[in-house]
Amino acid sequence: MAQEALLRLQGATNTVLADVSNPKAPRTLCGISGGSFQPQLVTQTMISWYATQGAPDRPGTSVIAILDLFTGTSTVAATWSGGGFLDGLHAWSPDRGFLAYVASDPSGVRLHVLSGGGDRVIATMGSVPARGVNPNEDDAYLAFSPDGAYIAFVQTFTGSGDQLQVRRIIDGSVAFSLSRGTMATWGSSGSRLYFRQPGSSLVQAWDSAAGVSQAFGQQLAWIRPRAGVGTETGLVFTVRDAAGTPHTWLYGHDGRSGGPLPNARSSGAWINSTTFFYVEEAACGANCGIGPAWQPDGKTFTFDIAQQAETASKISQVYGIWPRAGQL
């Protein structure tokens, strides 16, 4: 099976669709012009992206558009009045039968699910108040479970409403929710959601069959975990120590094995079923500005879990992969 990814390469201004069967040497299949937008890879041949004419204080037309990369045909999948913070966050079900998206304006934040049966609002939350962002605790995550039965919306920004919500796709009803939740990811199969609460280092998991349990015996204040594709419960994530130094961790087998990898690395993102991409960070000293004490230095790497080996990479950013969880 082909393995593809939407990538930005070092020194490039445009996104490319690449064959990443050999992630050490991604092979460009086609280029995508259009500036700084962040596309998603919906299928092997289709991307989607969000654009708006609105702003947080001035609602305007927002859209999610899709483009067939090989025919050049583009269409609008959804349109609404928005432009606020979280507006346009969206996700596709593994079979592309459902599109979930967030509409945000000064009146509040709404979670929509769009399918052949119409466009439904399945959750409504308060508006997003103006405040700073803590990258170690704040996050926004919207994704379908690999089995396509649930949608998870986890965010720490709205003024009211549960921060963690898992809803059934069939009718939008709540399967599980928490008033506080952050840093979530679905596992690579079924419907098992990993998460923690802001300020906590206890990683938990909700399972559609077993309910909530502690995911790991170890306490880890993880940051932006991501599950691998085809590696069952292979999870890559960042943990920062008291000095802010980032450490990339790799865990598998329901948290029963794994640990930190060497060197100062962060922002792991899977490229294919055996390899993830991550970035090097360095202490920035007097050049930090208002940012943290450790920041990316421009060097990137891939890590092959089968060979347990790191390789310098030509990739600067990963936007999406195919197949995704649930598409194998």
- Residue-wise pLDDT for 194-243, tens only, equals 999 999 999 999 999 999 999 988 899 999 999 988 755 589 999 999 98
Query: Phi, psi (5° rounding) for residue 226?
Result: -140, 135
Tell me which CATH code domain 46-196 carries.
2.120.10.30
Q: Cα(197)–Cα(138) distance, rounded to whole angstroms?
A: 10
Give the pTM.
0.95
Between 288 and 317, the higher pLDDT residue: 317
What is Dmax (Cα atoms) for the chain?
56
Please answer whether residues 172 and 120 qualify as being in contact, where contact means their C-beta atoms are separated by less than 8 angstroms.
Answer: yes
pLDDT(248) > 80:
yes
Q: Is the pLDDT of residue 129 over 80?
A: yes
Q: Is the pLDDT of residue 175 over 90?
A: yes
- How far is 242 from 237, CA to CA, in rounded Å? 17
Q: What is the pLDDT of residue 16?
A: 92
Tokens of 269: 């993102």
Is-contact 3 14, C-beta < 8 A? no
Question: CB–CB of 6/320 below 8 Å?
Answer: yes
Nearest residue to 112 via CA among 72, 142, 149: 142
Band (271; pLDDT cuts 50, 70, 90): very high
What pLDDT does residue 285 have? 85
At residue 1 the predicted structure's pLDDT band, cuts being 50, 70 and 90, is low
- Please compute the mean of the pLDDT values over residues 84-97 and round it to a whole number: 96
Contacts of 19 (CB under 8 A, 6+ apart): 2, 3, 4, 26, 27, 29
Residue 189 has pLDDT above 80, yes or no: yes
Two tokens, residue 75: 């269409």
- Token readout for 319 is 């936007």
Q: Is the pLDDT of residue 303 over 80?
A: yes
Which range (27-36, 52-61, 79-88, 111-120) has the least confidence? 27-36
Per the prediction, the chain carries an average pLDDT of 92
Structure tokens at 5: 């990814």
- The mean pLDDT value for 162-172 works out to 97
Residue extents of the structural domains in the chain: 46-196
